[in-house]
Every structure is written in C-alpha cells, then in structure tokens.
Amino acid sequence: MAEKYIEGYPEYMYKLIQKVHKTRSKRKDYVPEAMTPEEREDVLQYHPDFAKGGKRKLKIGVNKGDIAPDEVVDLIEAYPLIGKKDVDLSRVDYSPEILIIGGGLAGTSAAIWANMMGVKAEKILLTNKLRHGDANSIMAEGGTQAADRENDSPAKHFIDTIGGGHFTNKPDVVRALVSDAPVIMDWLCDLGALLDQEDNGEFVEKWGGGTSIKRMHSCADYTGLEELRVIKDEFENRQIPVIEHYPVIELLTDGNKVTGAVLWNLETGEYKIVKSKVVIMATGGFGRLHIRGFPTTNHYGATYDGVVLSYHAGAKLIDTDTVQYHPTGAAYPVQIIGFLLTEKLRSSGAQPVNIDGNSFVFPLEPRDVEASAIIKECYVKNKGVNTPTGLRGVWLDTPLIEVKNGEGYIDKAFPGMKRMYERFGIDMVKNPVLIFPTLHYQNGGVEIDPWSRTSVEGLYAAGEVAGGIHGKNRLMGNSTLGTMVFGRRAGIDAAKFVKKTKSWGKLTLNHVDKYVKMLKDAKIKTDRRAPIILPEYRGKAALARMIDVF
C-alpha cells in the first residue's frame, strides 16, 4: 500500500513533526548553552574527520607522509592526463601575461584588480571549466564576514577565525583576511551590491557560528550570487577576455617556475596552449569527490583539479587531512539531499531538534562541532528521524524563526530556501525541515602566503583551492570573504610580478615526467588519471552515494 503524504511528508514523519510543534512554546525562550572547550573536544570524536578509516598517507611529492582522505590521495597518486608526446608545445594559441583559471569570485576578482593595477585587459585571460560564473561562489547563501562597526575590530575577527580553525591557521594569512574585509565591503558597495540594510542605512549584521559578535553581511539567502553579479558586471565592463568550457588539464613549467597551461575543450576535445608569466589558480574545492560517501552542496566542477595540477608542478599543500561538513544539509526529500540550508537560518532563530522535539545543541557552535553533535544525536543516541530511503536526520525548527522575528520574516530573508521546499509541497514557515551534515568545503589546499603566492614561482592560488586561511575548520562568512580578499591580493601582486619579469620562460612538461617517475619509484600501480574534470554519476556506487536503494 502506498505511503500517505501530508503537506509533503510521509504520514509517519508528519506525526513526528507534531512533537516539534508541541515543544516549541517552551523552546522559544530556551537555547542550550554553548559548549565548553572540553565538551567541544569530546563531541568532535564523532566528526567524519576523526572516524576510523577513510584516510591514508601520501606516498609522493613535497607533502609525502601527510594524511588525506582516500578520495584525495587517489587523485594525487594518479597519473597525469598528458605527457610530452600528447601536445605540440611549439604552437602557442594564447599569450596573456596573466592566466586565471576559474571564473568564480576569486578568479573574477583577481582579473579586475590586476587590470586596476595597470595590466591591460588584453594581457589577461580567464578560462573556466564551465560557463563564467558556474562556481560554488553563486551558491553561497549565508553571508560575508567583515569587522566594520565601532564595537568590532579586525583583531576580534582574527581571534574568532584562529579559534574556529583550532589554532592551526597561518596567522599572517588570517591577518590579511580580516584586515582587508572592510575594504572588500566598501568595494562591493561601490560596485552596486544590494546588501541587506537597516532603515538607517547601516548593514544588517547577523551572528555566525563560532563568532563573538555579529558581523555577517548578506543579501537575503543568495549573497554569493549578488556579489558575483556585480563583480562579473565590472569584469565584463573592463572587456577582459574569457573563454568558457576550457578546463586546464596541465600546467607548463620551466624548472620551479610556471610558464603557462594546457587547456582542453569539453565539447570539441581540442587543446589550446597558453603561454603566460603568471597563473592564478582559482578552481575551487573538492565537494564532488563525495568524501566518505557524503552528499554535497557543491557545483559539478568541484573536483580538486587545481590542487592536483599545482601538486604536479611542485606546489606545497597544507591541511590535506581536514574536510568541512556543513551541519545543515537537506536530508529530505530525496531530490535535494545534501543541498545547503544556510547557517543564517539558525542565526535567525531556527533550532536543531531531535525526534522527541527536544533541542540538544547550541544552534551556533562552530560548524565542525555542530555537525558532530547532529551525527552523535542520530547515530549514537539514536534520536534521529529515519527517512523512507534509510537516511537519518534531525529537525530544523524553521517555524521558530517567525515566532522570534514576526510573520513574513522567512519570505523576506529566505526566499530561495522557501521556494526550494515549496517545489515538494513543504512549507518551512509551517513545518520544520529535516537536516543532516553535508560535504561543504575544502578547508586546506595549496599553501599560500598573505599575497596568495605559492611555493612555485609565478603560481598564485585564491579562493577554496588555497590553504592556510581556515586551518582545521572554516567559520561561516569567511569563504566568500577569502575569495575576494585573496583574489584581490593575487591580482595586485601578479600585476607587480609581470611588470618586473622580462623573461617568459620555456614551455615544458618536464614536471610531468618527474611526477610519473615519482609514482613509479613509489611502486604505485593504478590506471587512474587526474584531474578528473567532471564527477562520475553512473553505476550502482554513484547512485548509492545519494540514495540508499540497493
């Protein structure tokens, strides 16, 4: 007999929702206290980063011996896609001074600032795997942190960020992040970004998990989309060249210096050779690797390409062992499993609630702590709600938002989120939604200094591909901030670099030969090739990752 559905939920889940409704009146004025440092350390044992298995040591390269997820090691210890015999390096198709790989907030910002620093538009080339703007950037919902009020300061922002990262961030890089934050907000406003404002014209500022003060700037629940809208408009107004559907499949080098890249057309399969003085890597993260089988919030191009290519060229990595799982990914209905439910919902009053209708965790713990508490509630305390496909989750009591903020608040602050659920007959104003942690962010990456420089001459990294900013855990709002801060810094410093650099260097794939030798010397036998460009979603294993139907 078919399951009866009520307001978008199977009848048994709808009955469980009534417990949430019954406890709301007593929870509206009660929130569990934030955990002590000792309690946080205890609950983190349930975080996927600390679970048994799923990781191993790297056997090759400058980070040999470091620990990383199996999915990451599989790509780093894969054979490059091409070698010397595969391409004709004597035929150069493009000769920009600055090549930018990736068309999200980081890459687009870098192009603009390089141009503002005097590099002519025609001397810059941005290439993107998909369309310009197809990136995690446009999916960022919650906001951007910036200490720009009298009761706040970059020093406070610094302390929050370092603490959230478990004191493993690079201090000089974090200093650059927080110092430039007010500059970035001014820049966005100058470009015309429609950020949320109070009646008196001041920014609306919200709490973020793990922060000591409200400093989250946003535009409803599509902040990244609005930020990239105005930045992309500025990019286009400057007539900076861009080519789409051309991912980079290998860098070109001359010793320890990057000298260009090989592009590959997704549609035609043709190669393009690019000679450049500088390469700015802005390819994003690794969400589509589905670390430990988790669903993800990430766009389809997030396949770790930039880190793999940088490592081929000899760039040093940092924090390869750490992954961010956002506490509130959609756990029902099945069509949106893993989709992001912004942290801003919790900063506006929504509470995680278990099967009994009880609140069990302070809603704005740092993300790794919040995610761990939810996992513990579901799989250790067995207080989670089972879905028809066998997944578990806890309720996010979204109706509590309007109890605390007034009728119509969700329509105004979370229009995108509300529409997402309405497609499936669920009204998040009336009923809670089911959540479970989802793979969200690559905390580590290619190690950078405060000016986005890597250990390879002429190679910069900005955005999620860059490591050292967030340490072992990223705070909400520091991702979009980081893309623009280090995109800006990469563009500025790259402009200075090309002005003082007369030599272009040779175009070689010698580093690929060295990499293949390392793989053979380490006795790594595999038919894997990397980068993988796009994720694989065919077959039983890929489907089971999203839907437990086998």
Q: Which residues participate in catalysis according to the annotation?
A: 326, 346
Distance in angstroms between the alpha carbons of the first and the last residue of the chain:
21
Residue with tokens 């790989």: 101
Residue 425: partners with Cβ closer than 8 Å, 6 or more residues away: 5, 7, 8
**Overall size of the chain counted in residues:** 550
**Distance (Å) of CA 175 to CA 153, 156, 163, 178:** 12, 11, 13, 5
CA distance 317 to 307: 8
Given the DSSP bridges, would you call strands 459-461 and 433-441 parallel, antiparallel or unpaired?
A: unpaired
Note whether 531 and 72 are within 8 A (CB): no
What helix, strand, coil percent values describe the chain, rounded to 5? 35, 20, 45
- Single-letter residue type at 428: M
If we measure between CA atoms, which residue out of 292, 367, 370, 288 comes closest to residue 68?
292
Note whether 97 and 123 are within 8 A (CB): yes
H or E element at residue 56: strand 55-57
**Distance (Å) of CA 246 to CA 109, 135, 261:** 19, 14, 11
Note whether 507 and 259 are within 8 A (CB): yes
Note whether 145 and 180 are within 8 A (CB): no
CA distance 181 to 161: 13
Structure tokens that stand for 493 in this block = 């410093």
Structure tokens that stand for 261 in this block = 């890249």
β strands within 309-383, DSSP E: 317-318, 324-330, 351-353
Counting Cα atoms < 13 Å in the Cβ hemisphere of 69 gives 23
Structure tokens that stand for 321 in this block = 């062992």
